[in-house]
Chains A and B, each alone.
Chain A
Amino acid sequence: MTAIASPSAVALKNVARRFVTPSGDVLSALEDFDLTIAPGEFMAVVGPTGCGKSTTLGLIAGLARPQGGEVTLFDSPVTGVDRRVGFVFQQDAVFPWRDVLGNVMAGPLFRGVPKDKAETEARDWITRVGLKGFEHHHPHQLSGGMRKRVALAQTFINNPQVLLMDEPFSALDVQTRELMQEELLQLWAQAKSAVLFVTHDLDEAILLADRVAVLTTRPARVKSVHTIDLPRPRDVATLRYDERFIAIARKISDDLREEVLRARAGH
């Protein structure tokens, strides 16, 4: 049991988010949703497809407003897009008309950092994500994994205290995904930001996170939260064969399977 007074980077309390469908029905994506992430904590969220995982991220990012309840960042309510938040999207969201350097510089330039300072920082981040030499390539000249690296650099350069990730590696092949997961853990260890990582891949969630939240089928609630007490630094490539990993995975996957089956029955 965590004390109520402990500081939180992100907190959702009784949050509801509903949509009006074109036919006039009200569709409830989230209902009585409670979730708290501590500063510097890596939280992963898994749940059946279409259960409202991305909706949650949108609410925290300030891209959408809840119809009920409260969303707070460091104990102050979210009223719009917050500068302390970074977001890595599922699809490519890098700007196709800018080269790698231009993409990574975008955030600081939008935020009013002088151009030469932004460029120095951007070059540093490009090196850190292993894209040195590709500064003047355009996104269509890069592989999917490289574009993801650009997206990571673009996000991390803004020093986000809260990092939201919406199935960022789901479009990558298995080998590239493993590399990116490792890279993300390294970047996170330095940045020390609170992370909310949405994924449909339970293994990925366990490999990366401090805690894994399982969501119910729509309308989404938090069904259970599991603490992953695997030591860090973690070796993404070998950890999945560790006995402790397998035990945790078995426990959570029972939980998850129940919801997936309910989601299927509901259709």
Chain B
Amino acid sequence: MTETTVSAPLAADGRIETAVQRMRRHRRLVLALRLAVLVVLIGGWEFGVRLGVIDPFFFGQPSGIVTKLIDWTENGTSIGPLWMQIWVTIYEAGAGFLIGSAMGILCGIALGRNQLLSDVFSIYIKVANSIPRVVLGSIFIVALGLGAASKIALAVVMVFFVVFANAFQGVREADKNLIANARILGASNWQMTRAVVLPSALSWILASLHVSFGFALVGAIVGEFLGAREGMGLLIATAQGSFDSNGVFAAMIVIAIVALLAEWILTVIENRLLTWRPDTTVNE
């Protein structure tokens, strides 16, 4: 093999060049194919409707969805301006996400660090976790009313358990050697939590945050389904009530964009926080 020839830098350069080119070509191909899949799916849907194979009454129509979105942005929705609905849902999901994950991290670390606490409470957390939490939405609406509070509460409940479970596990998985080392170096319990336990649990916690923003969004939207005066969930419920399937799809797209944006922000934060990890830059 020529791989062993050290005295041929030109040839090696040439090989690297082609490798780079091949990679670029591959990337372009993937991009083109992705676009093609999208065009085929959306185009097939649109043509299916036009040819009468798909009933737009039930399944909507891409052009109809686009028209709907334009109409909403220009003239507002039936329940008020579109940006207002988006903002309300983001606010509810965001607040629920922040409160829920803060509570989850605190409880996870407290129970992970304290054997007695975890022995006492683990059974209750297991039970609470097995309840379908969406059902709690009805109780929150009754107790907290139609405003944002009931949706935030539901989002908190949705987020809490995921983050809690991960924070707890992350604390338990902290390297025993690192803990012993920190103790001998002179760390107090609090210093240990801050300097060893929290950083080692951080990658677990951040992983759970990705999933849980999605859950917060579900909590907010289901809450709005169940009873609200504004928000994307109410917009979907209204569209459903008037058999407007394009409206449902349009709202879905808006929500998907919100979720993707949140995911992107979380990834940026994660990479910022975990620079010490050897594999973060390789990813992507």
Contacts and interface: CB of A to CB of B under 8 A. Distances in A.
Interface of A: 61, 63, 81, 83, 85-87, 89, 91-99, 106-107, 110-111, 138-141, 154-155, 158
Interface size class of B (residues with CB under 8 A): 20 to 34
Given A110-B187, A110-B191, A89 B180 contact: yes
B202 to A, nearest CB: 8
B177 interface: yes
B8 interface: no
Given A98-B276, A110-B191, A138-B276, A91 B185 contact: no
Interface of B: 175, 177-178, 180-188, 191, 195-196, 199-200, 202, 275-278
A98 B183 CA distance: 17
Contact of B186 (A91, A92, A93, A110): A110
Nearest to A85: B184
Consensus secondary structure, chain B interface: helix
A141 B196 CA distance: 20
- The main secondary structure of chain A at its interface with chain B is loop
Nearest to A140: B278
Given A87-B180, A87-B181, A95 B186 contact: no
Contacts of A93: 175, 177-178, 180-181
Given A89-B180, A95-B199, A106 B185 contact: yes
Nearest to A92: B177
B195 A95 contact: yes
Most A Cβ at <10 Å: residue of B185, B186, B276, B277: B185
Contact of A86 (B184, B202, B276): B184
Closest 10 CB pairs of A and B: A93-B181, A110-B186, A140-B278, A107-B185, A111-B186, A97-B276, A93-B177, A97-B199, A110-B187, A87-B184
Contacts of B181: 87, 89, 93-94
A139 to B, nearest CB: 8
Nearest to B274: A97
A140 B280 CA distance: 12
Contact of A61 (B184, B200, B278): B184
